[in-house]
Amino acid sequence: DAGVIQSPRHEVTEMGQEVTLRCKPISGHDYLFWYRQTMMRGLELLIYFNNNVPIDDSGMPEDRFSAKMPNASFSTLKIQPSEPRDSAVYFCASGSTDSGNSPLHFGNGTRLTVT
């Protein structure tokens, strides 16, 4: 299994530009999570999906952030327009309801720098 795959690994963009982060979850997993990690705020849950349906987006910081999951094997997190305070590492994680005790599987993250 290739694990959770995120792209790009690094993204540098200018303030005001649109940024799209991509995630391919582990096949067969029915939960998908987007997290943001910063030194100041730690690991924050932004949004999660179950069976491709957004369940809770209360962690999305502003309307500039949006996430989609058009099918079971792909999700995107979009920031438009981007701002310097969006600079962080963004993680995608997937999980399965096969067992309530199963852990999350994380990708290696996208490090976003907005200048």
Partner 1 sequence: GDSVTQMEGPVTLSEEAFLTINCTYTATGYPSLFWYVQYPGEGLQLLLKATKADDKGSNKGFEATYRKETTSFHLEKGSVQVSDSAVYFCAIKAPGSYIPTFGRGTSLIVHP
Query: Is 106 in contact with 75 (CB distance < 8 Å)?
Result: no
Short-list 54, 88, 89, CA closest to 69: 54
Give me the least distance between CB of 95 and partner 1, in Å please.
6
A 10 A CB-CB count for 46 gives: 19
Q: Which of residues 69-108 bind partner 1 (CB under 8 A)?
A: 91, 93, 95, 97, 100-101, 103-108
Q: Which of residues 3-62 bind partner 1 (CB under 8 A)?
A: 4, 31, 42-43, 45, 48, 50, 56
Q: For residues 108 and 115, what is the distance between their CA atoms, to the nearest angstrom?
A: 22
For partner 1, the binding residues (CB under 8 A) are: 4, 31, 42-43, 45, 48, 50, 56, 91, 93, 95, 97, 100-101, 103-109
